[in-house]
Amino acid sequence: MRDIGHFIGGKHVAGTSGRTADVLQPMDGTVQGKVALANAEEMRAAVENAKAAQPAWAATNPQRRARIFMKFLDLVHAEYDSLAELLAREHGKTIPDAKGDIQRGLEVVEFCIGAPHLMKGEFTDGAGPGIDVYSMRQALGVVAGITPFNFPAMIPLWKIAPALAVGNAYILKPSERDPGVPMRIAELFIEAGLPAGILNVVNGDKEAVDAILDDPDVKAIGFVGSTPIAHYIYSRGCANGKRVQCFGGAKNHMIIMPDADMDQAVDALIGAGYGSAGERCMAVSVAVPVGKQTADRLIEALVPRVESLKVGPSTDPSADFGPLVTQQALDRVKGYVDLGIEEGANLLVDGRDFKLQGYENGYYMGGCLFDNVTPDMRIYKEEIFGPVLSVVRADNYEDALRLPSEHEYGNGVAIFTRDGDAARDFASRVQVGMVGINVPIPVPIAYYTFGGWKGSGFGDLNQHGTDAFRFYTKTKTVTSRWPSGVKDGAEFVIPTMG
């Protein structure tokens, strides 16, 4: 049984609140450990530690900071397998999927090695008589991240890497459901040479979150999770004068045009809809075939594929996906399937009663497939976050385009087609933040930005890419003139460059 506290000032610190939560192993329902849940005083101690350490880190030149990132990458790769196993055991996703989780985070770390270039400001020589103007990017100070259970390596690294690269100190409040990998990430950064206090991990629940939101020394906050909590954090954080970046729920559509390669489309739906048991903010949860013939062909191909999905423990290399993260998550997803039947959708594949011999206490569910789902149903409107795919039939292209564009969420969308004109029109007109063309999960590469629209995103700047460097820095502009260019006498009009 592991006891997991906090990581503050470069070392492990036991919790003092007296409150803990179980860290479960979803594949068999056993308790792996206890994680401490911080109170406001513990969070304040971490912020004070970070605040004291940050000025020296900000004064370290960007190239030296980047070298620490290089060393960190080497350390992670040296224990890639053990990190993936730890992640899989706490989250429930398969080990290959866990490795992908880690790799997508490391790609952002790799991008942030370019911080010396990305932090460059602008310079204008001779903007006016004897006047030069230049700008510089400076760190904000202490910043924080509140990250979800479904990507315990990737999303913390998406936030930690750019924040540290530009000279901030960071407070990470990871999900209390799977805290092991975030804690190990902090340890590895210290081993790589990061000064103590620059990265602190404080485990907790709402009390810890509220302490971050209300702390005057936390200048910026990043969050990924459900839309109601994203809205809460954005509203409260902004009200307290903080820079806030929040990403919420999703209902990602995949449009299948009549000319699409059906085999390719079905493969995409199976992987994007059921991978990681559907616990991805970029999972495809709605398939939209255009025209009856396309829909009938899609259903004919999908049903046997969904029925043959292999559900297994996280450690089974042949499993397509593993268990959901908790019993509560499993009950919630099953409840949505019950609701879909009540609403009149046609359940073609029912995975609710799936049981795995030897793992009867695990949180398993087989794949589910609905046909004839309509936009007025709750199973269409709401995020299910499980291995459930809904087919919404569209009569024509314009109807298909309208569905994701008018949905409350606007995270990701995909279109499968051989028609370049249709793809180009779709990418231009669809009201969604990230678009895939024959790509089912359009998560951008690290040097582009990740972010949804509408109810999926709150704030002006996205995750990773150049937006992250803007989010975690403030711009200072300097107008400079030296005595040889100064005229005698006071000037009472607004300065101009004429």
pLDDT at site 485: 56
Split at pLDDT 50, 70, 90, the class of 1 is confident
> How confident is the model at residue 83, as a pLDDT?
98
Q: What is the mean pLDDT of residues 201-206?
A: 98
Domain 252-437: give its CATH architecture: 3-Layer(aba) Sandwich (3.40)
pLDDT band at 487 (very low <50, low <70, confident <90, very high): low
Looking at the predicted structure, is the pLDDT value of residue 493 above 80? no
Residue range 375-417, pLDDT digits in tens: 999 999 999 999 999 999 999 999 999 999 999 999 999 999 9
- pLDDT at 7 exceeding the cut of 90: yes
What does the pLDDT read at residue 483? 76
Confidence of residue 486 (pLDDT cuts 50, 70, 90): low
Strand partners, 131: 128, 481
Facing residues of 123 across strands? 134
**What is the structure's pLDDT at 149?**
97
Residue 205: per-residue pLDDT: 97
* pLDDT(498) > 80: no
Mean pLDDT over 349-363 rounds to 97
Task: Answer whether 2-249+455-478 and 252-437 agree in fold.
Answer: no
Average pLDDT, the chain: 96
Q: Please determine, for residue 497, whether its predicted confidence score (pLDDT) is greater than 70.
A: no
DSSP structure class, residue 26: T
Q: Are the C-beta atoms of 178 and 152 separated by less than 8 Å? A: yes
The domain limits of the chain are: 2-249+455-478, 252-437
* Confidence category of residue 130, pLDDT binned at 50, 70, 90: confident
177-206 mean pLDDT: 98
pLDDT at 354: 97
What is the tens place of the pLDDT at every residue in 65-110? 999 999 999 999 999 999 999 999 999 999 999 999 999 999 999 9
Reading the block at residue 35, the tokens are 């994680």
DSSP letters spanning 201-228: E---SHHHHHHHHH-TTEEEEEEES-HH
Residue 315 has pLDDT above 80, yes or no: yes
Predicted confidence at residue 141, as pLDDT, reads: 98
Residue 496 confidence (pLDDT) above 80 = no
Give catalytic residue positions.
Answer: 281
Q: Return the CATH number of 2-249+455-478, one of 3.40.605.10, 3.30.70.270, 3.40.50.2300, 1.10.730.10.
A: 3.40.605.10
For residue range 31-40, list pLDDT tens digits in order: 999 999 999 9
Give yes or no for a contact between 288 and 401, defined as CB atoms under 8 angstroms apart. Answer: no
pLDDT at 177 over 90: yes
The pLDDT value given to residue 443 = 93
What does the pLDDT look like over 10-27, one tens digit per residue?
999 999 999 999 999 999
* Per-residue model confidence as pLDDT tens digits over 457-484: 999 899 999 999 999 999 999 999 987 7
State residue 129's pLDDT score. 87
The answer to whether the CB of 196 falls within 8 A of the CB of 11 is yes
The model's pTM? 0.95
Q: In sequence order, what E strands does 157-198 have?
A: 169-173
What's the pLDDT score for residue 488?
66
Write the burial class of residue 292 (CB in 10 Å: 0-12 exposed, 13-18 middle, 19+ buried).
exposed
First to last CA, the chain: 72
Q: What is the pLDDT of residues 210-230, one digit of tens each?
A: 999 999 999 999 999 999 999
Q: What are phi and psi of 437, to 5 degrees?
A: -115, 105
Over range 289-312, report the average pLDDT: 98
The mean per-residue pLDDT over the stretch 109-133 comes to: 93
Mean pLDDT of 420-428: 98
For the chain, the C-alpha Rg in angstroms (whole number) is 25
Residue 435 above 90 pLDDT? yes
Rounded-to-integer distance, Cα 387 and Cα 365, Å: 8
- Identify the pLDDT of residue 425: 98
What pLDDT shows up at residue 342?
A: 98
Distance CA 52, CA 44 (A): 12
